[in-house]
Amino acid sequence: MVRQKIQINKIDNLTARQVTFSKRRKGLFKKAQELSVLCDAEIALIVFSATGKLFDFSSSRSMMQLIQRYSVQTENSNNQSQQPLLINQAEGTRHDMLNKELAKRTTELQQIKGEELEGLSLDDLMRLEKYVEGGLSRVGKFKDEKFLNEISTLKSKESELMEQNARLKEQAERYEGTRIAVEADQGNSASSITNSHSFACAEDKSDSDTSLRLCL
């Protein structure tokens, strides 16, 4: 015969309900003990009857140790499951803050340029005016410093060029003096050679005349 399935519904008869509770509770505790022994598992069962009476089973000596272990494990599991959600929430909050900061800085930049001024109060306009004036003052000081640095650099270059020109002029003068001296020495040497040649010719001529006279 096929065993018919019993429909799981609340038992209306109070006596039958209490008998069924007692039988099933004992069977449940027995199955829990067998599972603990067979599989070396730690099991804790807590049951409250309809009248509020407590029944419990623990595979270890202390029910509280298992409850504490369960609490710690549950807390860790909840933290791990909530961690990605918390990270996403933090990233979303940070993204929103960056967007707001970007929008604020963009508006401030436009106001410095003289745009988006309609919604500003008189105090805001005066504060913006002081801010712009301070910025212009700093820009002017920085520009003056730039000019002074460039002037100093140009003066240094001018001094270097003047020194180079003086050295080149000195070298040119020395070269010119050396050239003139060499040309003078060459002129004196040529004159000496010419005079020596003329004297030799004169001597040769004198000797020739004497020979001619002797022959005659």
Domain boundaries, the chain: 14-82, 125-187
Average pLDDT over residues 6-10: 81
Contacts of 138 (CB under 8 A, 6+ apart): none
178 has a pLDDT exceeding 70: yes
pTM of the model: 0.35
% residues pLDDT > 90 (the chain): 10
- The CA distance from 140 to 145, in Å, is 9
Is the pLDDT higher at 117 or at 53? 53
Query: What confidence score (pLDDT) does residue 211 get?
Result: 45
Q: DSSP states of 27-82 as a string?
A: HHHHHHHHHHHHHT---EEEEE-TT--EEEEESSS-HHHHHHHHHHHHHHHHHHHH
Q: Structure tokens of 92?
A: 């979303």
The pLDDT-based confidence of 82 (bands split at 50, 70, 90) is low
CB contact at 8 A, 66 and 60? yes
14-82 fold: SRF-like (3.40.1810)
pLDDT in tens, 131-163: 788 878 888 888 888 888 888 888 888 888 888
Q: Work out the average pLDDT over 113-141.
A: 79
